[in-house]
Chains A and B, each alone.
Chain A
Amino acid sequence: GENVEQHPSTLSVQEGDSAVIKCTYSDSASNYFPWYKQELGKRPQLIIDIRSNVGEKKDQRIAVTLNKTAKHFSLHITETQPEDSAVYFCAARINEKLTFGTGTRLTIIP
């Protein structure tokens, strides 16, 4: 089955700096890659997603890039703010099944 690896497990950045989280997947049949943000004690919420026929997608301060050949995708957050502090999960999808990475705890230092 699909295997998704996510790095780093924890990340601290100064407010205003950029944060990058990277994921790799194993199955080339994966065709959809969402990113979820989970604040403490809350449910995961989708923040951005990308399909396999697109290389990059941007939404304000958040962007995702996908390299199908290398089977990796990354989340980029620019101009980080305190409210960006949360756990972020990447995922890869095959046939309606999402396989999640183990998460990155992002801390924004004021």
Chain B
Amino acid sequence: GAGVSQSPSNKVTEKGKDVELRCDPISGHTALYWYRQSLGQGLEFLIYFQGNSAPDKSGLPSDRFSAERTGGSVSTLTIQRTQQEDSAVYLCASSQGGTGGNEQFFGPGTRLTVL
């Protein structure tokens, strides 16, 4: 079946502009995660959704970052007034959700470059 998909694959924007990144999880997966990966770095947790609600938003770096999920499926991560330090690969992952060690399946990522 189809894996996690993300769009766009690449986004170049000017400092100060808003951007919207999209994630389509695996069908039936109730849990959805956003991570940020800077060049040569590890994965930084941003936010987690269970269904449409976000029990954990602790990783969002500032109030310029927000995310929503509708219909328990597609999620969008919005970055307002982008800054150069926002440049990174934004990865989305989904899992079946619930307790236990359910595998997170990652999407291909969106490479964001802020000029």
Binding site for B on A (CB under 8 A): 1, 6, 31-32, 34, 36, 42-46, 49, 51, 89, 91, 93, 95-103
Q: How far is B43's CA from A42's CA once the two chains are assembled, in angstroms?
A: 13
- Residues in B neighbouring A99, C-beta threshold 8 A: 45
Binary contact track B17-53/A, C-beta < 8 Å → 1, others 0: 0000000000000010101000001111100101000
Q: Establish whether residues A44 and B43, one from each chain, have CB atoms under 8 Å apart when the complex forms.
A: yes
**Residue of B31, B41, B103 touching A96 (CB-CB under 8 A):** B31
Residue B108 CB within 8 A of the other chain: yes
Q: How far is B45's CA from A93's CA once the two chains are assembled, in angstroms?
A: 11
**Residue of B35, B44, B55, B100 touching A32 (CB-CB under 8 A):** B100
Q: Establish whether residues B42 and A43, one from each chain, have CB atoms under 8 Å apart when the complex forms.
A: no
- Residues in A neighbouring B104, C-beta threshold 8 A: 34, 46, 98
- Residues in B neighbouring A42, C-beta threshold 8 A: 108
* Contact flag A43-B48 (CB < 8 Å), given A95-B56, A97-B56: no
Q: Establish whether residues B108 and A43, one from each chain, have CB atoms under 8 Å apart when the complex forms.
A: yes
Minimum C-beta distance from B4 to chain A (A)? 8
